[in-house]
Amino acid sequence: MPDTIAVLDFGSQYTQVIARRIREAHVLSRIYPYNTKASVLKKDGVKGIILSGGPSSVLLKGSPRPDKKVFEMGVPVLGICYGEQLMAHMLGGRVGKSEQREFGHGTLKVAKKGKLFAGLPKNLRVWNSHGDRLDKLPKGFEAIASTENSPYATIQDAKRDFYGMQFHPEVAHSEMGMEVLNNFLVKICKCKREWSMANYIEESVRQIRETVGDKRVILGLSGGVDSSVAAALIHKAIGKQLTCVFVDNGLLRLHEREQVEKLYGDHFDLDLRVAKKANLFLGRLKGVSDPEKKRKIIGNTFVEVFDEEVNKLKKRGNYAFLAQGTLYPDVIESVAIDGNPAALIKSHHNVGGLPKKMKLDLLEPLRALFKDEVRELGSELGLPKEVVWRQPFPGPGLGVRVMGPIRKKDLDVLRRADAILHEEMMAADLYYKVWQSFCVFLPVKTVGVMGDERTYENVVALRIVESVDAMTADWARVPYEVLRTISSRIINEVTGCNRVVLDISSKPPSTIEWE
């Protein structure tokens, strides 16, 4: 097991960023609820602890606190923002309201470099986000850096290896923040840089083989990044003991089923079963316009179909495990923070919500990874770029990209239009540079002229957005020449569409998907 750093989560929007930065330094990080017992951390053998920032104030009654014994474990502790104030408060210091709150850039003046600032300049531009500040140091601590409004912007107890900083080294806005974190990991925690994707594959393959033994595994393959990488990793470990089930719900993109069959069946030699259920899905969706009803029908029907396929397989072999492409953020979100309910995972996410009557144990080989690590893993396993860097695609497929009731002829118009958009985005070298680019079928007919004839046909909208995490998004400024080619091709090549419009709304207030 590689050296591990524990990140105690106090609700900061940057907690996952801290964990990612640590992994970028080739050290394994794990996020724990803020109130995790010191005994658990000790058992896990963590080499150091980071107390994250958070929206609360240590001055408020009932604000989140860690187990006091984390300060008695004998491992280095780094408090960031709220984490610094919390550590100081619990160890005998005093925190007060700052007369001038610090949000945004500030200048950090380093008075004493020590291990934390070893090899770094004496002045750094850093990112602050706090209203409280430390007024009195706990016994044994000293100030080693200050900002305009915080005389104790960075503090240390070098004897116990306790450190605190008001600024956020994990964000890109903080100059040389990565170097500060590196110093904490290597010079202070003495971590070895052993976290790599090659090591992860080797260890995962060993664990999967040990867990599965001579039994068999079923995986719901969607063709998306997560399920594809999970399938490739499990297949590397146990080969033909893995069976993948792909459900054709009639809401796929042009030739998608054939592409999945060719890639996974032929190239990777996976045991792939395809359930061709388009008529069943489209029959149940007939006349349904409400987007939430659509999602529920698609999700429930998927579960039913997958259950049938599982039962067929279980009659033929010793199937004991259901594999899912669950990622680390899903695991983190499923843990309640400070009494708040866990965030809902989207319906129809992989095979989430499958009935317990299946009596299969879960196998989740990606549950320790972030999304970008999953992509890296997919590349290491030999998956093609078009799979590893595929844009997000909704679980209900084109069912939520046809506005209003779903009809096969409208789906066919959308499929062909979407294929043209994909081709032209690839040709312009833009597909991998945007977050998502897709077409939406509108239940609106407009007048057009083709040759000498009047037409009265459908409208297709283009939705092309840039984003980092899908929480916010802005419409992409695609060159006019590219948009003209896309529009011209759709109108000329797709029978049933005579108008193309461009969606130029941002998120918020609009969402990326239309439904």
228 is in an annotated binding site: yes
Domain boundaries in the chain?
A: 4-188, 197-388, 407-502
84, 102, 170, 309: which is the annotated catalytic residue? Answer: 170
Report the alpha-carbon distance of residue 252 to residue 220 in Å, rounded.
15
Question: For 60-114, where are the E strands, in sequence order?
Answer: 77-80, 94-110
Helix (H, G, I), strand (E, B) or coil at 478: coil
Residue with tokens 């996410």: 349
Mind giving me the DSSP string for 10-31? SS-TTHHHHHHHHHHTT-EEEE
Exposed/middle/buried for residue 14 (C-beta within 10 Å: 0-12, 13-18, 19+): buried
pLDDT at 186: 95
| Beta carbons of 16 and 170 less than 8 angstroms apart | no
CA distance 228 to 90: 47
Residue 111: count other Cβ atoms within 10 Å of its Cβ. Answer: 13
For residue 243, list its beta bridge partners: 218, 271
CA dihedral defined by 232, 236, 237, 238, rounded to 10 degrees? 90
Report angle CA 320, 325, 326 to the nearest 5 degrees.
Answer: 100
CA distance 490 to 498: 8
Global confidence as pTM: 0.74
pLDDT at 354: 58
pLDDT for 342: 26
Task: Give the pLDDT of residue 192.
Answer: 94
What is residue 356's predicted lDDT score, i.e. its pLDDT?
A: 66
Q: What is the DSSP string of 282-312?
A: HHHHTT---HHHHHHHHHHHHHHHHHHHHHH
Q: In this predicted structure, what is the pLDDT of residue 454?
A: 84
Residues of the chain with pLDDT under 70: 98-104, 129-131, 332-357, 452
The one catalytic residue among 84, 89, 102, 168: 168
What residue type is 414 in one-letter code?
L
pLDDT at 37 (0 to 100) = 95
Return the H-helix or E-strand segment holding 258: helix 256-260
User: What CATH topology corresponds to 197-388?
Assistant: Rossmann fold (3.40.50)
Instruction: Please report the pLDDT score of residue 101 as a whole number.
Output: 53
Question: Going by C-beta distance under 8 Å and a sequence separation of 6 or more, which residues neighbour residue 240?
Answer: 271
pLDDT at 179: 93
| Same fold: 4-188 with 197-388 | yes
Architecture of domain 4-188: 3-Layer(aba) Sandwich (3.40)
What pLDDT is stored for residue 329 in this prediction? 73
Q: Is 402 annotated as a binding residue?
A: no
CATH number of 407-502: 3.30.300.10
Q: Is 222 annotated as a binding residue?
A: yes
Give the burial class of 247: count Cβ atoms within 10 A of its Cβ; 0-12 exposed, 13-18 middle, 19 or more buried: buried
Is 168 catalytic? The answer is yes
Which amino acid makes up residue 141?
A: F
At CA 275, angle to CA 273 and CA 280, rounded to 5?
175
Question: What's the pLDDT score for residue 129?
Answer: 63
Q: Give residue 499's pLDDT.
A: 96
Dihedral sign computed on CA atoms, order 101, 106, 111, 112: positive
Contact 433, 355 (CB under 8 A): no
Whose CA is closest to 150, among 125, 124, 132, 163? 132
- Distance between CA atoms of residues 73 and 505, nearest Å: 51
On whether 57 is known to bind a ligand per the annotation, the reply is no
Alpha carbons within 13 angstroms on the beta-carbon side of residue 310 total 24
129 phi/psi in degrees, rounded to 5: -160, 75
Q: Please give the Cα distance from 351 to 347 (Å, whole number).
A: 9
For 106, which DSSP code? E
pLDDT at residue 319 in the model: 92
